Chain A
């Protein structure tokens, strides 16, 4: 397959790659992660699951890194046919494109669910969605570089404000809620790994990003940042949710992280209600991960059909919209999120090692020095 993007002019730095991975990872799940974890394992030890999942993600990311380093300058979509042959590659690529489309649709849907519930109650959904999608489209037409730049601007803002919002609950923090550590043994912790993984998988975007990096050798740095920073953020969110809200309230709230911000009140500050601030910040965060997913899906299509990526951005956009409207209820949306989590673990946890093995056996790509 011929490269359809100009990777000589459209390159990103290592820092930009790292920022993109972080933004891609931190999406809808941050609002519900504590509840998802507690539904899998009713124990305060789930923070250990988060750390373990971070480790697993890092290891899985290493495989992707090794694969990408065998095929310099090529995205997953480009080197996949070299490894497995065209027919198999097409099937896998289509699955991945479907994954990216569904994932971005899910992000979009969660964004509208939360905003229309807590922020813009009477604003029609289509107007929220349209503004969101069109701006993402406009951004992505500019290619990966413009996306990377926007992400660079957005990430520090979102991280700082998000942290301020959730750390402000610290004076309600009760360490007793987190004790006893490992009171129920290690088994529940292991049960918690699955939902933690589905929230933390984001390293897969490296499949695409490394091809665009100026210095692909530094991919490991992007992986470190892309795995550990989201892990830290989710870890803090989970620990605070349980410590402040308590185990049972956390397990019972639809959006525990939002509840966390709504559970404290400071009088005499500029804001009394921090949740509006957090939601605004979070929408920015959702926007970045949505746009990256949209780009990833379109890039896959463009490589497959050998078309310019810009034209395919217009094709995938309505698809995403339609998929985002498929779940009828909130429960179905949540279900979709869970399915996506499992899909991502299989696709990007299970496949890369196999691909690496096949490529080594069939002697495809460059050998590592």
Chain B
């Protein structure tokens, strides 16, 4: 190889090293606003916006939605929460809530730039909270359209509904606590309490929205600046809008058929009004769709084993006797039946919405029938007879006999 060629090659390699390194668009994490929680409310401009508006700080928009973004602390250089953000509450500095109103979520996001905030980055969004009020007005497909399309936001992000304002749910009174992370981790307690719904991620939501099937989302209330998971919000498949809520007891009742693994308790009262509690050790449920001609009905068979774990009655029940045991079992069965019945009643007669996946059973076991009924399944479901049978067996009574 000649000398000139060698030098030429060397120069090429040096130039290549410069132009082929992949760090052209690098951005420092300190210079970004990483938002981890997103709250969507019915549009009501904050005080900051109203004041800015009076001074001419506005652009053509409708006040459809108020977007609250919860920004994680980036680094030590970040200013502490509360001071720099006109619309955030007083926090201990572990997170920052920013709020703006508009009619396009992306435009609102870009609008944050006008407040000289670092650009928002959605890569680490963990939870989206939509207020029931907004979900009542707009379909989930509309509200989430941008979020489904955005390439920053991961599909593993969770979706919840707040009974009140979503921005309030994203607040916390405890210093050092980040509400978005708490909400994300909430479903981890499901093995202890079956009132918590299985987590719904963005992709599950998208699947439900596109398939036009009804479903439930975790409902959250906030009290005294703390979040509380309470019951379920029901989204009707036809419109993708919020139609109502199921209470905690009803969710617990439904969980017998919607959950595979139960980790809850059944509490009922003895004749003289004293609490007795059954701890579920295992449970299995079978929902059998019965189709004969045009008539559809469902048969639910639930069986469970558990232990008698708490007993307030005086004198104590002695569970060794089988007759006593049987009576107790019947009591618990009655309670579970009541809860399930109430939930089913609400779904069928109040909301006319199949949010518990009965249609799914028909789709799987009778695909041809499903083809005929799927377009107005919610109506048909409202009149479908559902019979249920619960069998509970007390197999032990803890480490104390009486």
Contact = CB atoms under 8 A, between A and B. Distances in A.
A249 B201 CA distance: 12
Contact of A180 (B19, B148, B154, B367): B367
Contact of A263 (B203, B209, B364): B203
Interface string A244-261: 111111111100000100
Nearest to B202: A263
Interface stretch (B20-28, B49-57, B217-225, B388-396): B20-28
Contacts of B211: 246-248
A250 B371 CA distance: 20
Contacts of A120: 22, 24-25
Contact of B206 (A118, A172, A249): A249
B275 interface: no
Given A118-B151, A263-B156, A273-B123, A249 B25 contact: no
Contacts, number: 79
A122 B24 contact: yes
Interface residues of A, number: 33
9 contacts: A123-B24, A124-B24, A127-B19, A245-B203, A246-B203, A248-B210, A249-B207, A259-B155, A263-B155
A180 B364 CA distance: 5
A265 interface: yes
A126 to B, nearest CB: 10
Contact of A131 (B20, B123, B367): B20
- Chain B interface: which size bin? 20 to 34
Contacts of B206: 248-249, 252-253
Given A248-B210, A263-B203, A183 B367 contact: yes
A183 B365 CA distance: 9
Contacts of A264: 156
A122 B25 contact: yes
Contact of B210 (A183, A184, A251): A251
Interface string A133-151: 0000000000000000000
A259 B151 contact: no
The 8 nearest A-B residue pairs measured at CB:
A122-B25, A246-B207, A183-B367, A248-B210, A249-B207, A248-B211, A265-B156, A263-B155
A351 to B, nearest CB: 40
A67 B2 CA distance: 47
Contacts of B25: 120-123
Given A180-B364, A248-B208, A262-B155, 11 more contacts: A120-B22, A123-B25, A130-B19, A246-B208, A248-B206, A248-B207, A249-B204, A250-B207, A253-B203, A263-B155, A263-B203
B367 A247 contact: no
A24 B371 CA distance: 41
A180 B367 CA distance: 7
Nearest to A115: B22
A179 interface: yes
A247 B211 CA distance: 8
Contact of A127 (B24, B156, B203): B24
B363 interface: yes
B330 interface: no
A357 B266 CA distance: 75
A257 to B, nearest CB: 12
Nearest to A174: B204
A318 B151 CA distance: 31
A176 interface: yes
A263 to B, nearest CB: 4
Contacts of B201: 172, 263
Contacts of A273: 123, 154
Interface in A296-344: none
- Residue picked from A172, A179, A263, most chain B C-beta under 10 Å: A263
Nearest to A259: B155
A118 B202 CA distance: 18
B325 to A, nearest CB: 36
Contact of A249 (B151, B156, B203, B363): B203
Interface string B189-217: 00000000000011110111111000000
A340 B301 CA distance: 53
A127 to B, nearest CB: 7
A141 to B, nearest CB: 14
B10 to A, nearest CB: 16
Interface string B335-361: 000000000000000000000000010
